[in-house]
Amino acid sequence: MKIVALNGLLGYGYSEEALQQAFSEKVDYLGVDAGSTDPGPYYLGSGKSFTDRGAVKRDLLLALPKALEHKAPFIIGTAGGAGSQEHVAWLKEILLEIAREQKLSFKLGTVLSDVSTEYVLTKFDSGNIIDMSSEFPASRQSIEESSRIVSQIGIAPIIELLKKKVDVILCGRACDTAIYAAPCIYEGYSEGLAFHMAKIMECGAMCSEPVAAADVMQAYMYDAYFELRPANPLRRCTVDRVAAHTLYEQSNPYLIFEPDGVCDLTNSKFEQVDERTVRVTGSEFKEAEEKTLKLEGVKCSGFRTICPATIFDPDTIKNIDTITKTVTDFVKENTKNTLPEDSYSVNFKISGGAESSMGIIMDIVGKTQEIADTVCALVRSRMLHCDYEGRKSTAGNLAFPFSPSDIHVGPVYEFSVFHLAKVDSLLETAKITVEEVF
């Protein structure tokens, strides 16, 4: 069986020639990951995608007709960047837009994986929430404060939709590996090989030379092994690259943890078949005794205003710690009768620090945007003219690369839930629908 990864993330782009090459022979399944928590909690909280709509549409515009023409089910994971129902709706509208423009018809399966605070509280009260870190324990308060929570589904909901013979599968928050492992396991291939292959495939051509998340990767599944080869003839898979990407985002070099169980790589072997192809054997799967799904929830913790600046004076750079403390104390003193101390925070993001130049971002988060704006104005003005021992200049300490200098970032979100939930079924949080698109 042949399965193709469009690229490492929908909207990153890929070579059109590579896609043509991939479909020059039979393709059984096409997949692409469309999201990640890497950009932080903002996108889940805001309901916005961190990928550009135009770039996402371009990637789909080329691939969707190809998949339909070749009758290769197209599986899209973590729609819209964060995978909530808002993100799924955003990506679904792009698919429908392309269908109208290209006069395409297909059977669409959708998996929503949002969960309610009540669902999570029930899990918490029954002792079925597992902390992933001792530094971030679950609490009723953090759950209740969450504005949006999603569960990260595994292969089970995707397999349910494959059974329904859909043409396109659009997933909410999903494990990256599920996109590629699900069709292989559905077709009866080894779970160990399927999960290992999927772990490498999820980032597109990142397991090739030259490295690129923005290109097409191919996997060939057999009973006792799988092979990887980039579709773009300019790239090649090597043992080093494939083995290295096996370790990607893994805390243990031999174990890949999934909702369904653990992929054990202790006996895995990597072999260079030809100049561009690597074969992998020996990967095994051990089913989990206890099924869990990861939960991701966010809350709004304030509003941000920033002011980026640069410093080119050596004496100012040497005294930066004194200056930032003076500025912080000044703001505290000047707002003591107007703003509660817990209504804002002041942080300085400093980069560089060589004798000749330094970059600094004044980062203010307030309970309201107005508070953030007020405090940022105080910080910026005091920092600009702050005195220090040995200062000769009477001009400003800072250079501002932008005008206006103060930039309104808007709502700030933080993770309020980032834990595992024990579940009776790995379909427990999945809301599956099927519809015909004409």
d(CA 197, CA 2): 12
Same domain? 318 vs 385: yes
Q: DSSP letters along 10-60, please? A: TTS---HHHHHHHTTS--SEEEEEEE-STT-THHHHH---SS-HHHHHHHH
| Cβ atoms 148, 44 nearer than 8 A | yes
* Residue 133, domain member (yes or no): no
* Residue 379, domain member (yes or no): yes
Q: How many residues does the chain have?
A: 438
Domain limits for position 372: 300-416
Same domain? 412 vs 430: no
* Residue 128, domain member (yes or no): no
* Residue 119, domain member (yes or no): no
DSSP state of 8: S
What pLDDT, in 10s, does the model give residues 66-95? 999 999 999 999 999 999 999 999 999 999
Same domain? 184 vs 79: yes
Same domain? 306 vs 285: no
Same domain? 216 vs 94: yes
What pLDDT, in 10s, does the model give residues 397-408? 999 999 999 999
What pLDDT, in 10s, does the model give residues 249-297? 888 999 999 999 999 999 999 999 999 999 999 999 999 999 999 999 9
353 pLDDT exceeds 80? no
User: What's the structural domain count of the chain?
Assistant: 2
Confidence (pTM): 0.94
Q: Is 191 helix (H, G, I), strand (E, B) or coil?
A: helix
Pairing of the two strands 292-311 and 407-422: antiparallel
355 pLDDT exceeds 80? no
- For the chain, give the mean pLDDT: 97
* Residue 136, domain member (yes or no): no
d(CA 314, CA 354): 8
Confidence of residue 206 (pLDDT cuts 50, 70, 90): very high
**What CATH number did the domain enclosing 396 receive?**
3.30.70.600
Confidence of residue 64 (pLDDT cuts 50, 70, 90): very high
What pLDDT, in 10s, does the model give residues 149-188? 999 999 999 999 999 999 999 999 999 999 999 999 999 9
* Residue 123, domain member (yes or no): no
237 pLDDT exceeds 80? yes
Same domain? 262 vs 309: no
